[in-house]
Chains A and B, each alone.
Chain A
Amino acid sequence: MNLLLGISNGDLAITAVLTGIGLVFAALLIARLISPRSYSVKKSEPYECGIPTRGESMLQFKVGYYLFAILFLVFDVETVFLYPWAVICRTLGSGGLICIGVFMFILILGLAYAWKKGALKWQ
């Protein structure tokens, strides 16, 4: 792995992040300088297709989203654990395959349980 120009990856990543921040900052600055500005009470209200806002804007949302977030957490961590195995799968051979098979079997069991309990159903 040869690095670009001998600069460390960390420095390059920081450069990229600063470039992104700089892009947003510069564009906002230009927009602030050349865009018109006016103020009215009606304009600063939340947009609801032209009718006046009714009630609180921070309304309750379905618990279903939360359930899927929890399920995602489990399987995302699983994916993270699979990456190192994927890199050295060739050298580990069939022994590694059996070990990861047990790991994946437990997780698939978890998915099957969630499925049976109805966590995957949107209601």
Chain B
Amino acid sequence: MFDFSVVTNWINTQLLSIMPDWAAVLIECIIIGVCVLGAYTVLALFYILYERKLCAWFQCRLGPMRVGKWGLLQVFADMFKILIKELIPLKGTDKFLFKLAPYIIITASVTMLACLPWGKGMQIINYNIGIFFVLAVSSVGILGILLAGWASNNKYTLIGAMRSGAQMISYELSLGLAIITMVLFAGTMNITDIVEAQDRGWFIFTGHIPAIIACIIYVIAATAETNRGPFDLPEAEHELTAGYHTEYSGIHFGFFYLAEYLNLFIVSGICSLMFLGGWMPFHVSGWTGFNEIMDYIPGIVWFLGKAFFISFVIIWFKWTFPRIRIDQMLAFEWKYLMPIALANLVVMALCVTNNWHF
């Protein structure tokens, strides 16, 4: 597997040879910032097109076709349109909090994006409590949504934010428990080490039945965590117009839109890292020739391919299941998903302590 840290170390030594330490660190930080920004925008543009095309195909439509070949330039047209829209000044809003909310949401998703390793050595923030840090930052994102709804001086946004808060904090529990199950199996919280531990086989294969159950729980909780259908009651169009971002106009709304798609990528990326082996290729023990061919595919392709597959499943949910009521949603989490996740954790602990795994 190609180690990307060779490239970063080469850049580091080149920079250190021509300038002092602090200047090298500054330039490297700027390069990292530009890379993250580039990845963020490219992913957001890709996801907007991906979702629009998939929605269209699920409904037997063609989707955007006019702007560019197969509508590929449609997202750029949308971006420019949203930039030249007016930012409407509103009466009675809490101005400071109203403007702070997009900053919190975007910053949280950028920081989470920086924590995901795309390949060996292609990770920016590499804490030894990596996955815990990601979960902590994702909780900060909820704060942004609550603030947006609260500060808007509108009944719909207030109800939307309350629903969103109740939903996101509830489903965070089963999300966290599903992740703890895998942390228990891997024996570490560092994301890179978790992926390295899947060298012999992805956790979903080696982890027995508890890993499969944890994966299913994780995907359901992640769907709710990103406020997507069937759990899209915070922005239920028929009841609340647009939920917590009703009053945001122009690029202000665009930030919520961007963060929503990036959160979709981040939850799919975490699923790919924790359960599906991240950048590890698909191996079948004994098939040496097949394994050799799989090793030729670069790690970044494996990681992104798995993440896009999980996103496809989450988008698929939206067009298959009808929206559920808030009492059903909360009962589903607290009476079914969380007890199952807890029981699953105990089963996994028994498996790990008794070595009942592959």
Q: How far is the CA of A111 from the CA of B33 in the complex (A)?
A: 44
Task: Give the docked Cα–Cα distance between A54 and B152 (Å).
Answer: 16
The stretch of B60-68, B269-277, B332-340 that contacts the partner chain: B332-340
> With A1-B192, A4-B126, A83-B189 known to touch, is A11 a contact of B346 (CB < 8 Å)?
no
Chain B residues with CB under 8 Å of A24's CB are 102-103, 106-107, 255
Contact across chains for A12 and B32 when beta carbons are under 8 A apart? yes
Are B125 and A9 touching (Cβ within 8 A)? Answer: yes
B339 near A59: Cβ-Cβ < 8 Å: no
Q: How far is the CB of B323 from chain A (nearest CB, A)?
A: 16
Q: Is A113 engaged at the interface, CB distance under 8 Å to the other chain?
A: no
Q: Assess whether B29 is in contact with A83, with CB atoms less than 8 Å apart.
A: no
Proximity bits, B34-67, A CB within 8 Å = 1, else 0: 0011001000000000000000000000000000
Contacting A at CB under 8 A, from B131-177, are 132, 152-156, 158-159, 162-163, 165-166, 169-170, 172-173, 176-177
Asked whether, in the complex, the Cβ of B153 is within 8 Å of the Cβ of A57, the reply is: yes
Looking at B218-226, B244-252, B279-287, the stretch in contact with chain A turns out to be B244-252
Interface residues on B, range: 35 or more
In the complex, are the beta carbons of A79 and B158 less than 8 A apart?
no
| Contact, CB under 8 Å: B154 / A46 | yes
Instruction: Judge whether A109 is part of the interface by a CB distance below 8 angstroms.
Output: no
Asked if B213 is at the interface (CB within 8 A of a chain A CB), the reply is no
Of B103, B166, B327, B346, the residue contacting A21 (CB under 8 A) is: B103
Contacts of B125 in A (CB 8 A): 9, 12-13, 16
Chain B residues closer than 8 Å to A36, beta-carbon distance = 84, 86
Does the CB pair B84–A35 fall under 8 Å? yes
Encoded as 1 (CB less than 8 Å from any B CB) or 0, chain A from 60 to 79 comes to: 01101100110110011001
Contact digits for B89-123, partner A, Cβ 8 Å, 1 yes 0 no: 11110000000001100111111011000000101
Nearest-Cβ distance from residue B95 to partner chain A, whole angstroms: 12
Q: How far is the CB of B253 from chain A (nearest CB, A)?
A: 11
A87 touches B255 (CB 8 A): no
Given known contacts A3-B126, A4-B5, A23 and B183 CB-to-CB distance under 8 angstroms = no
Q: State in angstroms the CA–CA spacing of A47 and B29 once bound together.
A: 43
Query: Which chain B residue shows the least CB distance to A32?
Result: B87
Q: How far is the CA of A58 from the CA of B111 in the complex (A)?
A: 32
Chain A 81-118 against B: per-residue CB contact (8 Å), 1 yes, 0 no? 01100111110011001001100100010010001000
Q: With a CB–CB cut-off of 8 A, which chain B residues contact A75? A: 173, 338
B322 at the interface (CB under 8 A from A): no
In the assembled complex, how far is the CB of residue B22 from the closest CB belonging to chain A, in whole angstroms? 11
Q: Which residues of chain A in 19-73 are interfacial with respect to chain B, using CB atoms and an 8 Å cutoff?
A: 19-24, 27-28, 30-32, 34-39, 43-49, 57-59, 61-62, 64-65, 68-69, 71-72
14 A-B pairs whose Cβ atoms sit less than 8 Å apart in the complex: A12-B125, A20-B109, A24-B102, A28-B252, A31-B87, A46-B247, A47-B247, A79-B176, A79-B177, A83-B129, A86-B184, A89-B352, A108-B342, A122-B327
Which residues of B approach A to under 8 Å, CB–CB? 5, 8-9, 11-12, 25, 28-29, 32-33, 36-37, 40, 83-92, 102-103, 106-111, 113-114, 121, 123-129, 132, 152-156, 158-159, 162-163, 165-166, 169-170, 172-173, 176-177, 180, 183-184, 187-190, 192-193, 241, 246-247, 250-252, 254-255, 326-327, 330-331, 334-335, 338-339, 342, 345-346, 349-350, 352-353
- Please name 12 further chain A to chain B contacts, defined as beta carbons within 8 Å, in addition to the given A13-B111, A59-B158, sorted by A numbering: A2-B121, A4-B124, A15-B32, A16-B110, A23-B37, A23-B110, A35-B85, A57-B154, A65-B165, A83-B180, A120-B330, A121-B331
